[in-house]
Chain A
Amino acid sequence: MDKINELNKDFLITKVLHNAHETLDKEVVAKLAAIKRDKINKPIITIGVNTPSRIIGVDEIKLGLLEYVHDRNFDAQVIDVGSLGLTTYEPILSVHLPGKTKLYFKNVSLENYISILDGTFNNYIHEEAVLCQVRNDIFEQWEQVPFMDELPYFKNQQRLVLKNCGFIDPNSIEEYIATGGYKSFLKTIRNNTPEEVCEKIENSNLRGRGGEGYPTGKKWRVALETASEQKYLICNAGESDPGAFMERLLIESDPHKIIEGISISAYAIGAQKAYVYIESEYEIAVARLKNAIKQAKEYGIIGHDILNSGYNLDIIIKEGAGAYVCGEETALISSIEGKRGKPHSKPPYPATKGLFGRPTVVNNVETLVNIPIIIEKGANWFKSLGTEGSSGTKVFSISGKVDYKGLVEVEMGTKLRDIIFRISGGIVQGKKFKALHIGGPSGGCLTEDHLDIEIDYEAISQAGISLGSAGMVVLDEDNCIIDMVKYFMNFLQEESCGICIPCREGTRRMHEILENISKRPKDDNGNTTLQRFKGVMQLENLAEVIKDTSMCGLGRKAANPVLSSLKWFRDEYEEHIFERNCEAGICQELRTFEINIDACTGCTLCAKKCPTGAIIGSPQNAHFIVQDKCIGCGICYDTCKFSAIISK
């Protein structure tokens, strides 16, 4: 993985990093163009090696590519890149032939990669697999291949944070520097005091992308102004929202950008030690980050007396051991200290008393990636993006029932409708949109009526939810809201740290109430309609108290999914409670089955398979389902060869 080229290293350090001038010599520019592969003299194949593509088997495909090139004695290079963010189409392969525009292919597999390559090298396009070509006026274009900037998915995004993702080699510091990387950091430590950096970030109105949207500059200033011989910066990369993946893909695709963000931020608060807290399960991300730190050290970008500035910085990776609550900053600090990931009451805030009792700033990955961008382009430019209260762009990970699942970066203030329908291609198979869930277990859901919300921190909190991790899950008519909320509640009752009563006991009871209304009555003393109804009344009370009294954000937001769904999908709750019906058919136990006596041949198969003995009847005669015994498992439905079982 490590690819330090000593010649390039000397060149980059002396001519680029140590170059205090704004402009670069022509020959330097030319050499940089070669390093960042703008100019090529042999075919370049890139393959997106990232978590989703690895799950599909990209490693074998990559071996195949190397073999392909080797067997044919091609003077071509195979390079790993991260992800373009379009996970639906992983693994994504690009082929760039000298003199021609760069081509992208989607859903590459062991079956088709050879024909893709064979075709491309023979000027023939594999029509099924081709995704797009990258616009470039100098090179010859491929015919009848759409340009990347014409695809709705790319066209409607504004990529600042994700700019490099999928394009540069995440294992190469050379490429990162050649594309202008680390310039912001070096400019900063050369020309600015920490005070000035804080001011700049304050002026940019950057708000923390971790969910609460707390102004980053303000947080920094508190830490900067708290006197202490040791301060810490922590990069919170412990995403662990079960439906969000932007931090993971961002680190996998552009790790040096995170290192640069950390370096500037640490400098701004006067920290000489920074930690990256990242789940150890994110194997690719961890490996690339480790490699990036190693390379940055070899280049003298981090370490002792960085490029003669007198500033020292050490970055340490702490691998998390799997706990959602460790996304909460005080719990994260406990975890780094080697304790149970238990949050603490605030105050004291980490900015005054955090890791090992020292002033500590915890920023999430996306926040940190925004830092070098702001330094490079200026606070005013940044402020000009987005809305009045929320500057800049926001990255979302979008999954669920849309055509294009993946990362989406848009300017703050973009309409939700545009994200779902224009960028992500709308609902799969043309089904009906039902709800959008934002922010994972701590977030909430929105309806069709909300799709014209122009998303930013204010708008989303006006809608009564929080941005949370900014994971978006789109639900269609086949999904059940109760089931969704129940899923999150179950997640939270397991992931609560278990210390404070409202969160520990409250999430558990809320989950039980939801379970009850999605079940049919078991016996006389459980789940009667009245009790189920009382349960829902209790649900609101519980939710209020949990929100009011919990120790940390996890608990305070735990009720969000429940409260928002009760608000917008109350009829669905009522349908479950009073009619014992789940329209989407997801709540299994609420399904009822009947036997069409005309179709039933009395083969007895269903009666044999029924786990509760609810089906009676004698052989050769039509059977009958005893509804009181039926648990709605649907085994009979799946078993019947004569379609005699009807689901209601």
Chain B
Amino acid sequence: MVIEIEVNGKNIKANKGDTILETLYNNGIKVPTLCRMDGFTPTGACRMCVVEVEGKTDLIPSCSFPVDESLKIKTHSTRVIRARKMLVELLLSNHPDDCLYCIRNGNCELQDLAVELNVRERRISGDKSKLNSDHSSPGIIRDPAKCILCGRCVRVCEEILDVSTFDFMRRGNKTAISTSMNKDLNFSNCINCGQCIMTCPTGALHEKTNFDIVQDMINNPEMNVIAQFSPSIAVSLADELGLRSGKDISGILVAALKRIGFDKVFDTSFGVDLAIYEQSAELADRIKNDENLPMFSSCCSGWIKHMEQSHPDMIDNVSTSKSPQQMMGAMIKSYFAEKEDISPNKIFSVSIMPCTAKKFEAQREEMTHKGVSDIDVVLTTRELVKLIHLYGIDVQSLDEEKSDAPFNNRSSAGKMPAVSGGLAESIARTLAFHLTEKELTNIKIAKLRGTKERRETYVKIGRQQIGFAVVSGLKNANNLIKEIRDGKSDIKFIEVMACPGGCINGGGQVFTNDDKALKNRAKIIYDLDDKEAINVAHKNSGILELYKEFLGEPMSEKCVKFLHTKYTQRDVLL
């Protein structure tokens, strides 16, 4: 039902049942918020969105107050602005004064609000909470001193990921966000997905940067510094670099990375094709032998840690294939090194990912052979942007370049896993080839695409109907697993991505992650699939050559050595 309310002296239309804030947003009136999150129920904690409502003695939080006929609202009266300003000043009075040194400088919601509300004088000062930062985790750094206790990380971790690493601790002026038993993050059940970083309004949560070592290595003439970048990155940072969005910018990225000084630049899409080829062969084997089904995907390292700690009984059901990053890393330090006659010790392998969990994955023990890691350093998308700025690269003036041989080919399937559902679709295509040596009649599987949290379909391969499921946001994975434990589901393959929407919304991506941006990123990927000629991993000539020259058959001994891994139960505080 549409009603009218009065805002700042003018009548505007409102849907009954909406909150005041929703109505204001729909009418283009901006009211600041700090604790609000799209798609979550409001908590009314930050009080930034207060407005003046006629007849009410106190200011009203617009985020949780429903509209009603005859409401008369002032959104920017002197009283309201005074209150908002005071709230920001209160936060600043307990906030470190190191904006210039802060990772979120120029990109901080608190800073923006202080500017917006014209905070130009320190009117409130006092003791600040003394809280130590936590650098224990390989992926995420927590700096509680900068935390404004909006609670967004707590909610995303609980309501989207179902991991609940964080909660509020204590109360009153001693309130803080903490892990269970106030332990360091690396002893917690944190899966390093980085979604908390994406919601954090300040620099209280950020990725661990590995900048310096990359620079040192680039400057070291003895080292062969090699970069690979994830397929999802090329579709997500055009805006951030000032390029026209809506296009895959892999070519530009290759050029930029070369300018920075990387000796070789590979597109991880090749690794994705490799992972699809190997993983679907593994799935084909399991289907033939009817063992360890359903098989869960293994590309998402956040999911893998979660599975090891929360669902250890499912370990046998997870594909043993390494993630594309790790397969690529393994191939760089074996096949490529052999081919180019470089000692693996002289290769420094940098992986650029939209993900903080990959930082954790790269340092797992299983990913190291005789002291040589498959991947030496993982950088996030955000770090890449900084690297490009640091080296003064003017991306506007760059011409596209091709990634380096021998990993310079990819299929469109190699790009697809950037989007939730893309991996399952690509696997289906290549699984058909492994099982029947024929192609799927219709390679586009619409039911696996889209934004629904959970998607399922059956794909006819040969005479069999094979069930595929796609879940993103670990909460949905947990729900599905519960059903599987209860005996439901004849699904054969389950793609799990920890981050909602998949890697295009990863915890290492740039901060412009609204729904529109995500849709745009997905569209670029699916457009490529429409436009390009090679749509399946098993037709990537580079992959076929790699198997022929080096790996042998899928699931061969050599494949197991380089491309597969194992998982172990993790005892953490759940």
Binding site for B on A (CB under 8 A): 323, 325, 340-341, 344-345, 347, 492-502, 504-509, 512, 538, 541-542, 545, 547-551, 556
Contacts and interface: CB of A to CB of B under 8 A. Distances in A.
Contacts of A498: 149, 168, 170-175
Nearest to B127: A512
Nearest to B79: A548
Interface in B79-104: 79, 82-83, 86-87, 90-91, 93-94
Given A344-B44, A498-B168, A538-B123, A549 B64 contact: no
Contacts of A345: 42-44, 61, 64-65
B504 to A, nearest CB: 33
B93 A509 contact: yes
Specify the main secondary structure of chain B where it touches its partner: loop
A547 B86 CA distance: 12
A495 B42 CA distance: 23
B61 A509 contact: no
Given A548-B59, A549-B59, A500 B90 contact: no
B90 A550 contact: no
B66 A494 contact: no
A205 B94 CA distance: 46
Contacts of A323: 171
A541 B86 contact: yes
Contacts of A492: 172
Interface of B: 42-48, 50, 58-59, 61, 64-66, 79, 82-83, 86-87, 90-91, 93-94, 123-124, 126-127, 148-149, 151, 168, 170-175
Nearest to B92: A505
Contacts of B174: 494, 498
A545 B83 contact: yes
Given A345-B61, A507-B173, A509-B93, A538 B47 contact: no
B329 to A, nearest CB: 44
| Chain B CB within 10 Å, residue with most, of A500, A502, A505, A538 | A505
A494 B172 CA distance: 5
Given A340-B171, A494-B172, A512-B126, A505 B94 contact: yes
Nearest to B61: A345
B511 to A, nearest CB: 23
A505 B66 contact: no
Contacts of B171: 323, 325, 340-341, 494-498
9 contacts: A495-B172, A496-B173, A498-B175, A499-B45, A501-B148, A508-B173, A548-B50, A551-B45, A556-B58
Contact of A551 (B61, B66, B124, B170): B61
Contact of B65 (A347, A502, A504, A542): A347
Specify the main secondary structure of chain A where it touches its partner: helix
B126 A538 contact: no
Contact of B90 (A494, A502, A551): A502
Contacts of B66: 347
Nearest to A551: B44
Contacts of A549: 47, 50, 58-59, 83, 87
Contact of B172 (A497, A538, A542, A551): A497
A418 B531 CA distance: 91
B90 A501 contact: yes
A340 B45 CA distance: 14
Nearest to A511: B173
Contacts of A541: 86
B46 A500 contact: yes
Contact of B168 (A340, A347, A538, A542): A340
Contact of B46 (A344, A495, A501, A547): A501
Given A505-B91, A545-B83, 17 more contacts: A340-B171, A347-B65, A347-B66, A496-B172, A498-B174, A499-B168, A500-B46, A501-B48, A504-B172, A504-B175, A505-B173, A507-B172, A545-B87, A548-B58, A549-B47, A549-B83, A549-B87
A504 B126 CA distance: 14
A549 B83 CA distance: 7
A198 to B, nearest CB: 25
Contacts of B58: 547-550, 556
B316 to A, nearest CB: 36
A515 to B, nearest CB: 9
A405 B329 CA distance: 78
Nearest to A545: B86
Contacts of A344: 44
| Chain B CB within 10 Å, residue with most, of A495, A509, A545 | A545
Nearest to A506: B90
Contacts of A340: 168, 171
List the 6 closest pairs (A to B, CB-CB), nearest first.
A498-B175, A345-B44, A505-B90, A545-B86, A345-B64, A508-B173
A427 B125 CA distance: 40
A504 B48 CA distance: 14
Contacts of A512: 126-127
A552 B44 CA distance: 10
A200 B91 CA distance: 49
Contact of B47 (A496, A497, A500, A508): A500
Nearest to B85: A545
Given A549-B83, A550-B47, A493 B61 contact: no
A497 to B, nearest CB: 6
A541 B93 CA distance: 15
A504 B44 contact: no
B34 to A, nearest CB: 8
A504 B124 contact: no
A556 B48 CA distance: 16
Contacts of A547: 58
| Chain B CB within 10 Å, residue with most, of A496, A508, A542 | A508
A501 B173 contact: no
B47 A501 contact: yes
A493 B87 contact: no
B341 to A, nearest CB: 62
A548 B172 contact: no
| Chain A CB within 10 Å, residue with most, of B48, B64, B171 | B171
Contacts of A325: 171
B91 A538 contact: no
A524 B386 CA distance: 42
A538 B122 CA distance: 12
A548 B48 CA distance: 12
Contacts of B82: 545
B124 A542 contact: yes
Contacts of A496: 171-173
A500 B45 contact: yes
A341 B170 CA distance: 11
Contacts of A548: 50, 58-59, 79, 83
A504 to B, nearest CB: 6
Nearest to B58: A548
Contacts of B91: 501, 505
Nearest to A498: B175
Nearest to A492: B172
Contacts of B79: 548
A504 B149 contact: yes
Contacts of B45: 499-501, 551
Contacts of B149: 498-499, 501, 504
A188 to B, nearest CB: 36
Given A505-B90, A509-B126, A499 B43 contact: yes
Contacts of A499: 43, 45, 149, 151, 168, 175
B204 to A, nearest CB: 15
Contacts of B94: 505, 508
A245 B65 CA distance: 36
A556 B57 CA distance: 11
A500 B126 CA distance: 19
Contacts of A494: 171-174
A502 B123 CA distance: 15
Nearest to B175: A498
Nearest to A512: B126
Nearest to A550: B47
Nearest to B168: A340
B39 to A, nearest CB: 18
